[in-house]
Amino acid sequence: MKLTALFSALLVGTAWALPAASPAQASRNLAFDSPIINYPHLAVKAPVSRRSDPAGNASTAQFLHGIASGDPLADAVILWTKVTSNDSQVDVLYEVSMDEYFTDNVAADFVSTNADVDFTVKVDITGLQPATTYYYRFTVGSTTSAVGRTHTIPQATDFLASYKLAVFSCSNMPAGYFNAYGSIAKRNDIDLVLHLGDYIYEYPNAEYGDGTALGRIPAPNVQLNTLSDYQTRHAQYKQDVDLMAAHEKFPFVTIWDDHEFEDDSWINGSEGDDKNNLPGQPWAPRKLAAMTAYFQYMPIRAALIDGVGKIYRNFPIGNLMDLTMLDTRMNGRDQTDVKNPFTIAKSSRTIMGSDQEAWFNQQLSASQARGAKWRIIGNQVVFSPMRVLFNTVPLTFDSWDDYPANRQRVLDYIKNNGITNTVILTGDIHSSMVFDVLEDPYNIFDFNPITQSGSALVEFVGPSVTSDGMGAKDMILMRATQPHLRWGNGVLHGYYILTVATDKVTAEYHLLDTIQSRTYVDSIAGTFVTALNSAKITSKVVA
């Protein structure tokens, strides 16, 4: 996926002085392709870089929204920033270096940005070395951004002994401080940060969390609807100091869930669609606005799979693992929250869309065939069944429980094609939960799932960064009624560290004592191991 190679004559790999001032060498600001390069009619026209005035408005430019990197490949990584300026167009210099003092640059060029993309800058740096740490920064005139650090992944054929991910979801600004992000920013041993969705929330203040006391009132203070609304909200989140610190330190791989759009959304609508949309703001333009802002503001590579806003994608990480990121929210998902047992039971029902389902099956098989030890799946909503009232009624109507036929097809594919060592990572429900995923999880005639034919894979559901969880009482009920649930905490916020090694995958749940103060304690609440070829939790230590 060497996107920029098509557009730029970047000479990476050799030392750079400042780049030659030739418009032909202008690198491409991918923010102008938003939401996707394959659909140029949806994007805005990129300005021609003004090399005669490369400083832009040097006296007023600032970098107030930090910097970020994401979607690392073995030879490429996305870099992101946003400029604050009163100039109509700003030419931004990016530099990528082997060292943090920028004495050994491997890439440097100007890209232009303007108000059409809210002054965001996103470049795909190609021609990099695998499994290598790089430093990057942006400059306008005499103003230079913070220095970011990023890391490419190993080549698929390289031996890799272990890989460490920090897994986040559900960061709602008014609900509390993003201490979870700040906590990992103090570490040096994370290879990649995953965010499984709800990176922003779409509500006005006090509709879901009141940010008044902490000075975290959502901007703009409305239910998001227009492109400008979504851009302003993303820009506000990008100014959070803890989030900025995490982005500076580690590359992110992100997928959206519903709140990047609206609560309980699906491909053609959302639960609150009719209730919350303003007159004259139907779902399609609102969804496009949300998607466009997401691609402008997130360090994500627009997927080159044909179609608007496809974000499902795979990262082959050495011979150790494939990291396969799904979109169970916006890619062909049938209507959610229908609460009609006959609709829910339909065999054609899909949470993935048929294109993604075919791709996912093919991806699982390709991963198995290439001998990758683990298949690590990044996914939005809970995959395991969570049935209440003697296992007859789904606990939520917005998870895979609402799409049982699709889940069964995934499990059947895994079973029938000898797919092993699969681990699914999940956010959405704001509660820590560790599941053995049973092979026949949604048989309403089987009242005792533990007696079924065994576990096909394991699922690690993460705590939220700040959003309210299911609560202590509900988790006690869950523990009592869901025998495949090996552990849970529905109260505390945090993240988990997933260490993938050749013989086991370990999830270490980090829960924080508070998100209402910037002073907090981060402790390990539980450590769960799934051994190679076990397809279940093989050991657990709970604090």
Q: Which residues bind ligand NAG (CB under 6 A)?
A: 57, 60, 62, 84-87, 267-268, 332, 334
If contact means CB under 5 to 8 A according to the sort of partner, which of ligand NAG, Fe ion, none does residue 174 touch?
Answer: none
Contact flag: residue 382 with Fe ion (CB under 5 A): no
Contact flag: residue 175 with Fe ion (CB under 5 A): no
- Find tokens 């979607």 and name the residue: 71
If contact means CB under 5 to 8 A according to the sort of partner, which of ligand NAG, Fe ion, none does residue 198 touch?
Answer: Fe ion
CB nearer to Fe ion: give 124 or 260: 260
Q: Is 521 exposed, middle or buried (0-12, 13-18, 19+ CB in 10 A)?
A: exposed
If contact means CB under 5 to 8 A according to the sort of partner, which of ligand NAG, Fe ion, none does residue 170 touch?
Answer: Fe ion
Task: Tell the smallest beta-carbon distance from residue 85 to ligand NAG (Å).
Answer: 6
If contact means CB under 5 to 8 A according to the sort of partner, which of ligand NAG, Fe ion, none does residue 118 touch?
Answer: none
If contact means CB under 5 to 8 A according to the sort of partner, which of Fe ion, ligand NAG, none does residue 322 touch?
Answer: none
- 98: CB partners within 8 A, 6+ apart: 104, 105, 106, 132, 134, 135
CB nearer to Fe ion: give 468 or 513: 468
Contact flag: residue 260 with Fe ion (CB under 5 A): no
Tell which one of 87, 91, 198, 271 touches Fe ion (CB under 5 A): 198
CB nearer to ligand NAG: give 287 or 430: 287
3-state class (DSSP) for residue 84: strand
* Selection from 217, 220, 218, 216 nearest residue 278 by Cα: 220
Residues 463-482 that bind Fe ion (CB under 5 A): 467
Of all helices (H) and strands (E), which one includes residue 478?
A: helix 472-481
- Distance between terminal CA atoms of the chain? 44
- The residue whose Cβ lies closest to ligand NAG is 60
Contact flag: residue 262 with Fe ion (CB under 5 A): no
Contact flag: residue 196 with Fe ion (CB under 5 A): no
Query: Per-residue x/- mask for Fe ion, residues 295 to 324, rule CB under 5 A?
Result: ------------------------------
CB nearer to Fe ion: give 75 or 428: 428
CB nearer to ligand NAG: give 62 or 362: 62
Q: Rounded to an integer, what distance in angstroms lies between the CA atom of residue 196 and that of residue 464? A: 10
* Selection from 5, 15, 32 nearest residue 111 by Cα: 32
What is the CB-side half-sphere exposure of residue 264 using CA atoms within 13 A?
Answer: 17
CB nearer to ligand NAG: give 83 or 175: 83
If contact means CB under 5 to 8 A according to the sort of partner, which of ligand NAG, Fe ion, none does residue 245 touch?
Answer: none
Q: Is 280 exposed, middle or buried (0-12, 13-18, 19+ CB in 10 A)?
A: exposed
Task: Tell the smallest beta-carbon distance from residue 64 to ligand NAG (Å).
Answer: 8
CB nearer to ligand NAG: give 106 or 290: 290
Strands (E), 251-369: 252-254, 265-266, 269-270, 313-317, 321-325
CB nearer to Fe ion: give 368 or 467: 467
- 178: CB partners within 8 A, 6+ apart: 171, 240, 242, 243, 465, 466, 515
Contact flag: residue 170 with Fe ion (CB under 5 A): yes
Q: Rounded to an integer, what distance in angstroms lies between the CA atom of residue 145 and that of residue 147? A: 6
CA dihedral 299, 301, 303, 304 (to 10 degrees): 160
CB nearer to ligand NAG: give 54 or 488: 54
Tokens of 401: 């429980």
Task: Tell the smallest beta-carbon distance from residue 255 to ligand NAG (Å).
Answer: 19
- Give the interface with Fe ion as residue ranges (CB under 5 A): 170, 198, 467
